[in-house]
Chains A and B, each alone.
Chain A
Amino acid sequence: DADVTQTPRNRITKTGKRIMLECSQTKGHDRMYWYRQDPGLGLRLIYYSFDVKDINKGEISDGYSVSRQAQAKFSLSLESAIPNQTALYFCATSDFLNDIQYFGAGTRLSVL
């Protein structure tokens, strides 16, 4: 079983729809992250959380929101999806002892 699980793996939605991407982890890490990956732009940080009560904006948080429901769960929401949010989204975790991040398999989102 994967240590970092993302659901769904693929999603097609329409402009204006609300969508939630979910991430859960069994690594026992406190820190969780959401990134988007676009061709030629690498990975860009959307939001990150160091514990249940801690939420921080990343480089590109506009148009996104997050919820840290528990230590193991961190969800990303697009309140009103737009086509330029079409991308591959990754969740990652790390612990406070080192900075190594462990990634989920990704969610490929298409907004039509």
Chain B
Amino acid sequence: AQSVSQHNHHVILSEAASLELGCNYSYGGTVNLFWYVQYPGQHLQLLLKYFSGDPLVKGIKGFEAEFIKSKFSFNLRKPSVQWSDTAEYFCAVKDTDKLIFGTGTRLQVFP
């Protein structure tokens, strides 16, 4: 079965800093990959997804992620974070008929 690793558990940044959150999944083949975001006190919402095609995918709020098949990775990036990006970020991979989520990365952005 698939598994997902998010190596950064807690990231603290100042506004305008660049962000990269790591995500690795356990085995290859055709994969559907997702990043979800959970703002404080809110439900999870989709940030971006990769199903096929261009490995660089763009999502909402200036986020992007790059699928690198050879590294089994799907890292999330943002060139310049804002205070409003403070949230928890979850990577997920489709495994047969369900999604497997990583343990999440808590991002704190200070003004």
Interface residue ranges, A against B (CB under 8 Å): 4, 33, 35, 40-45, 48, 50, 56, 58, 90, 92, 98-101, 103-106
The yes or no answer to B54 lying at the interface (CB within 8 A) is no
Chain A contact residues, majority secondary structure:
strand
Chain A nearest CB: distance from B24 CB in Å? Answer: 14
Total residue contacts A-B, CB cutoff 8 A: 46
How many angstroms between the C-alpha atoms of A48 and B98 in the bound complex?
8
Residues in chain A near residue B6, CB distance under 8 A = 42
How many angstroms between the C-alpha atoms of A101 and B97 in the bound complex?
12
Is A103 touching B45 in the complex (CB atoms < 8 A)? yes
Residues in chain A near residue B34, CB distance under 8 A = 99-100
How many angstroms between the C-alpha atoms of A41 and B90 in the bound complex?
11
Residues in chain A near residue B18, CB distance under 8 A = none
Taking CB atoms and an 8 Å cut-off, the chain B residues in 3-60 that contact chain A are 6, 9, 32, 34, 42-46, 49, 51
Is B42 touching A100 in the complex (CB atoms < 8 A)? no
